[in-house]
Amino acid sequence: MMSPDEHNPGESLETLDWGPAVESAEEARSWIEQSGTQPAHFIGGEWSAPAAAKRFSSRCPATGEALRDVLQGSSEDVDRAVQAARTALPTWQAMGPDGRARCLYAIARNIQKESRLFAVVESLDNGKPIRETRDLDIPLVVRHFYHHAGAAQLLDETDPGAEPWGVCGQIIPWNFPLLMLAWKIAPALACGNTVVLKPAEWTSLSALLFAETCQKAGLPDGVINIVTGDGETGAAIVAHPDIDKVAFTGSTEVGRIIREATAGSGKGLTLELGGKSPYIIFEDSDIDSAVEGLVDAIWFNQGQVCCAGSRMLVQESISDEVHRKVEERMSRLRVGNPLDKAIDIGAMVEEKHRDQVAAMCERAKGEGITCIQPPIDLPKQGYWFPPTLFRDAPLSSEIASQEVFGPVLVSTTFRTPQEAVKIANHSRYGLAASIWSQDIDTALDVARKVEAGTVWVNGTNMFDASSGFGGMKESGFGREGGREGLRAYLRDVKPMTPTDGDTSATGGIVNSTSTDPALDRTAKLYIGGKQVRPDGGYCFEVQSPSGELLGLAARSNRKDVRNAVEASHRSKWGSMTGHARAQVLWFIAENLEPRSDDLAQLIDQMTGCGAAKAREEVQQSVAGWTWWASWADKHDGAVHDTPWRGLVLAVHEPFGTAGVICPQQNPLLGLVALCAPLLATGNSVIAIPSTAALAAVEMCRIIEHSDLPAGALNLLTGDAAEIGPVLAGHDDVDLLWHVSDEPLARELEAVSAGNMKVCWRPGELSDRSRRMLDRGTQVKNIWLPHGI
């Protein structure tokens, strides 16, 4: 087959093959040349180029030529940018929702006016086909700024009293350079934040062009600052003490480093990470549409897409037919000059990346996995890789389980919908999924069961500013777009510290030296719906503030943590309806209330808070159960209005297993106020209560007789500093709410990076806002395009 570079018009007429339709690069090249004469960062509204700055070249992947130089940002540059962003904050915030909306609107308009220039610059710098930059990247960028102009305007209405974080550090990858910039900058500005953004080393040019657009749009100086550079520049942004929130899109590996680096700092954090998304084709699907969708799912942007449908799961009965059609379609894909409008696959972003993809494919071939690559002549210069399929790749193979980030598809078969779900979820990632079936029951049932932040039914790669996008599991946390994406740029609650509260401090763990026969109680944990002895066989004393022994509590160890996690995973709580969960939580309140007097007495003895405050704490705890019971069937999702024809269902789902480290104070309310909202939203909970643990133990005795299914709530009494990190580091715990001092917070959040679990530090025990429910749920967006 002839490469599109070697076009012969006469032959085209005979073969009816595509002729070249190459977009002019003249204007883009002239902008690149002129802007590259003096490479600079964009800081405080000015172009800034320190004399000693190091430089590197930004290359055109389609030819390998150097386009222009870009500066390597130092930590001093980052510092200047952060200062400029800090200085700009008061002006920007004083402009109010209306003023900020006007600026965002002006940015949208200005990008639109120069949309072709942006599209060509992006294609030259990144290697992606102009068809994609022109028809998808840039229109989505514009839509994002328009949508968030509206979001800025309405902020006082939608989120009254909410405050922005302040200065946001934003780090983006190279695969959708301008789109990722828009996803980050638009909501940040809408909420009144200022920004320091670092584009990826390989693709900085569209961000620099965007900085010019901000100047034209009249954005106040310092609201947007762009510092170019590599990973070290990114690390300097993350580490800067005056950054309030970090927003990162990139690989799970770097996301993990950033999670560890920000642990305990109190900085806001959202991580949009990698994926290995399943593309599931059922036997009752429209097969031709599914195959055409697949082309978009895996070969769009050379497969360098976080949510690429890189794992094709085909029902066994149609496997041969689907594979035949896929191979046939692969052979007709056109690889070549990204500026040619009739090209399907452009250039890989960089030689190094292309070589990594090639090496991964060689290893898969070495493992004996069948590799299919059509005989496409690749252009001689630049970085290219052909569309590739590995058929029937074992699930545990590297090629089937790791993100390739290239035009490489793996396929496997399944027999039943249950098996399809099992294979789909057999991944550390949970970013997206596509489901192809004409049967609405199958499609929606599987959509609810796959672990992914975005699910497309009979479609793929649909995005919109009104609908959140982001991952589950090791694909990160937080959403971009939608209401939840906007709220990620509003300041979080001020975290509670372990000793905040109404009452005086109680002591820490005192190892038991004796048992007190008068109390006649065995100190036990509550795991899997049963009172169980602690694995280690140790207890600790719970004393009054004056040192009087009040009782013993079991001292948990890491084995108890593991048992509790297993029990929580076996629990059927998450599959119960909101209505059923509400009944149980009401019943707990009903059974707690008659015990008010003795629990109040116990609280008073443990904390010395006085009878009235202790009674108040019990009343608040009863009210907490009824409050969150009332919400259990009401924390609905939404249906989004996107420009696409169809519905987008934003469904609220529990995270799964939540760890809770309760405050030291308010030993009963501290447990109820944090566990009840998590239970209401369908999570199973493992709680470490205050060391004044006797009230929490009593609460679990009440719960034992309140129809809460086994494993839904597990209580591990003991030392939070000892078992908290075990809970935080457990890979089968999906969420951690912790009330901890700074050293413990740092440790908990650092070890949580193992499975990238979401960590949150609650604000006040009196918080009964919807925020608590939002923090206990993740949003899955199910796209249902339709039309007859």
Q: Which residues bind ligand NDP (CB under 6 A)?
A: 171-175, 198, 200-201, 230-231, 234-235, 238, 249-251, 254, 257-258, 272-275, 306, 403, 405, 431, 471, 475-476
Question: How far apart are alpha carbons 726 and 686 in whole angstroms?
Answer: 12
> Which residue's CB is nearer to ligand NDP, number 480 or number 617?
480
> Which residue's CB is nearer to ligand NDP, number 32 or number 227?
227
Helix/strand/coil for 290: helix
Helix/strand/coil for 104: helix
Taking the complex as a whole, the smallest distance from the CB of residue 72 to ligand NDP amounts, in Å, to 9
What is the identity of the amino acid at 214? C
Taking the complex as a whole, the smallest distance from the CB of residue 457 to ligand NDP amounts, in Å, to 20
C-alpha to C-alpha distances, 510 to 499, 507, 555, 703, 740, nearest whole angstrom: 18, 8, 10, 27, 19
> Which residue's CB is nearer to ligand NDP, number 130 or number 273?
273
Q: Is the dihedral of CA 285, 291, 297, 303 positive or negative?
A: positive
Residue 556 and residue 700 in contact, taking contact as beta carbons nearer than 8 Å: no
Residue 173 and residue 249 in contact, taking contact as beta carbons nearer than 8 Å: yes
Written as one string, the DSSP assignment of 342-387 is T-SB---S-HHHHHHHHHHHHHHHHTT-EEE---PPPPSSS-----
Taking the complex as a whole, the smallest distance from the CB of residue 687 to ligand NDP amounts, in Å, to 31
Report CA dihedral (452, 456, 462, 467) to the nearest 10 degrees. -60
What is the identity of the amino acid at 413? T
Helix (H) or strand (E) holding 66: strand 66-71
Helix/strand/coil for 640: strand
> Which residue's CB is nearer to ligand NDP, number 104 or number 172?
172
Residue 442 and residue 420 in contact, taking contact as beta carbons nearer than 8 Å: no
Q: Which two tokens stand for residue 263?
A: 């642990």
Task: Give a three-class secondary structure readout of 687-730.
Answer: EECCCCCHHHHHHHHHHHCCCCCCCCEEECCCCHHHHHHHHHHC
> Which residue's CB is nearer to ligand NDP, number 403 or number 492?
403
> Which residue's CB is nearer to ligand NDP, number 206 or number 249?
249
Taking the complex as a whole, the smallest distance from the CB of residue 234 to ligand NDP amounts, in Å, to 2
Taking the complex as a whole, the smallest distance from the CB of residue 269 to ligand NDP amounts, in Å, to 12
Question: How far apart are alpha carbons 232 and 248 in whole angstroms?
Answer: 14
Residue 455 and residue 447 in contact, taking contact as beta carbons nearer than 8 Å: yes
> Which residue's CB is nearer to ligand NDP, number 233 or number 319?
233
Residues comprising the chain, all counted: 788
Taking the complex as a whole, the smallest distance from the CB of residue 407 to ligand NDP amounts, in Å, to 14
Q: Within a 10 A sphere around the Cβ of 780, how many other Cβ atoms? A: 23
Q: Across-strand partners of 411?
A: 312
Strand 311-315, strand 454-457: pairing? unpaired
Taking the complex as a whole, the smallest distance from the CB of residue 351 to ligand NDP amounts, in Å, to 14
Catalytic choice (132, 272, 451, 747): 272
Query: Has 351 been annotated as catalytic?
Result: no
Question: How far apart are alpha carbons 478 and 487 in whole angstroms?
Answer: 10
Taking the complex as a whole, the smallest distance from the CB of residue 221 to ligand NDP amounts, in Å, to 24
Residue with tokens 């840039």: 138
> Which residue's CB is nearer to ligand NDP, number 408 or number 603?
408
Taking the complex as a whole, the smallest distance from the CB of residue 263 to ligand NDP amounts, in Å, to 14
Q: Which two tokens stand for residue 294?
A: 């697949």
Residue 602 and residue 694 in contact, taking contact as beta carbons nearer than 8 Å: yes
Q: Which two tokens stand for residue 507?
A: 């002591």
Query: Has 272 been annotated as catalytic?
Result: yes
- Comparing C-alpha atoms, which of 653, 675, 652 is closest to residue 662? 675
Chain position whose Cβ is nearest to ligand NDP: 234
> Which residue's CB is nearer to ligand NDP, number 104 or number 247?
247
Catalytic choice (60, 103, 168, 306): 306
- Comparing C-alpha atoms, which of 352, 37, 78 is closest to residue 228? 78
Question: How far apart are alpha carbons 357 and 403 in whole angstroms?
Answer: 10
Q: Within a 10 A sphere around the Cβ of 94, how many other Cβ atoms? A: 10
Helix/strand/coil for 779: strand
Taking the complex as a whole, the smallest distance from the CB of residue 174 to ligand NDP amounts, in Å, to 5
Helical segments of 223-299, H only: 231-239, 252-262, 287-299
Taking the complex as a whole, the smallest distance from the CB of residue 121 to ligand NDP amounts, in Å, to 18
Q: Which two tokens stand for residue 106?
A: 């002006």
Residue 615 and residue 559 in contact, taking contact as beta carbons nearer than 8 Å: no
Question: How far apart are alpha carbons 426 and 429 in whole angstroms?
Answer: 9
HSE (side-chain half, CA atoms, 13 Å) at 68 = 23
Taking the complex as a whole, the smallest distance from the CB of residue 81 to ligand NDP amounts, in Å, to 15
Question: How far apart are alpha carbons 499 and 518 in whole angstroms?
Answer: 30
Rounded to a whole number of angstroms, the CA Rg of the chain reads: 28
- With a CB cutoff of 8 Å and minimum separation 6, the contacts of 731 are 754, 755
> Which residue's CB is nearer to ligand NDP, number 179 or number 661?
179
> Which residue's CB is nearer to ligand NDP, number 332 or number 352?
352
> Which residue's CB is nearer to ligand NDP, number 199 or number 574?
199
> Which residue's CB is nearer to ligand NDP, number 201 or number 749?
201
Taking the complex as a whole, the smallest distance from the CB of residue 318 to ligand NDP amounts, in Å, to 29
Phi first, then psi: what are they for 607, rounded to 5°? -110, -20
Catalytic residue positions?
A: 272, 306
